[in-house]
Amino acid sequence: MDKPASAVLLAGGFSSRMGCCKAGLDFHGVSFLQHQINKLRSLGIEDIVVAGSVDAPAGCRSVPDIYPHRGPLSGIHAGLLTIKEDAALVLAVDTPLVPLELLRELIDTHTAGITLVTCADEPEPLIGVYDKSLAGVCEEALRSGKVSVRRFCQEISYASLVYEGEAALLTNCNTPEDYIMLLELKTRESKNG
């Protein structure tokens, strides 16, 4: 990684469709949360902020939402307020298969504002790099009730890093069926590589 960056790992939400806390789901011997932290550390990221109600493991910091129950934008806001670097890789806890090299390229590509991974012309607002300076704009959006991260990114205008790999690797885990699919994909990936 050529540029220093913090990380904001989004681990909030009610997990109502899953029926349990997604951060604690087992992913081949470690929790989703620990898997993502291991991935971030392998990128050389030292400042890792876990946004939401989940306790962060040693070496990371937990930050609660300042504007609770307003979705991922609230977690991004709380994280950006506390990061040590000028920008943060924002990653959802429930996207364990995002390729490491894609995250590295995303950080290295980022110059200013927001840089998002896009796949099949669709932005992935929870796989992106956000400047710390956007915390105030996040707060304005949250106060006005505009809580959609996708809409926020469109209004700010974002740069794109096009991902042409297997789209399933960017899938987030919302339901038990998604969880089974991700475990199967990970098993297949391990056998192939």
- For residues 1 and 104, the answer to whether their CB atoms sit within 8 Å is yes
What is the value of pTM for the model shown? 0.91
pLDDT range class, residue 12, cuts 50, 70, 90: confident
- Give the total number of structural domains in the chain: 1
- Return the pLDDT at 98: 95
26-27 and 114-119 beta bridge pairing:
unpaired
Return the sign of the alpha-carbon dihedral for residues 176, 50, 81, 122. negative
- Return the pLDDT at 19: 52
Token pair listed for 46: 């030292």
Buried b (16+ CB within 10 A) or exposed e, 120-140: eeebbbbbbbbbbebbebbbe
- Return the pLDDT at 78: 97
Does residue 181 sit within a domain?
A: yes
Does residue 186 sit within a domain?
A: yes
- Return the pLDDT at 14: 53
In angstroms, the CA 177 to CA 74 distance is: 27
In angstroms, the CA 117 to CA 127 distance is: 6
Between 162 and 4, the more confident residue is 162
Per-residue pLDDT reduced to its tens digit, 91-147 = 999 999 999 999 999 999 999 999 999 999 999 999 999 999 999 999 999 999 999
152 to 3, 76, 114: CA distances (angstroms): 25, 11, 10
Per-residue pLDDT reduced to its tens digit, 28-54 = 888 889 999 999 999 999 999 999 878
- Return the pLDDT at 102: 97
- Return the pLDDT at 54: 82
- Determine the structural domain holding residue 59 and report its residue range: 6-192
pLDDT range class, residue 17, cuts 50, 70, 90: low
Does residue 185 sit within a domain?
A: yes
What is the number of helices (H) and of strands (E) in the chain? 6, 9
123 φ/ψ angles, rounded to the nearest 5 degrees: -70, 150
Residue 160: CATH number of its domain: 3.90.550.10
Per-residue pLDDT reduced to its tens digit, 156-176 = 899 999 999 999 999 888 777
Tell me how crowded residue 167 is: count the other CB atoms within 10 A of its CB. 11
Does residue 1 sit within a domain?
A: no
> Residue written as tokens 């998604």?
178
In angstroms, the CA 93 to CA 151 distance is: 21
Does residue 72 sit within a domain?
A: yes
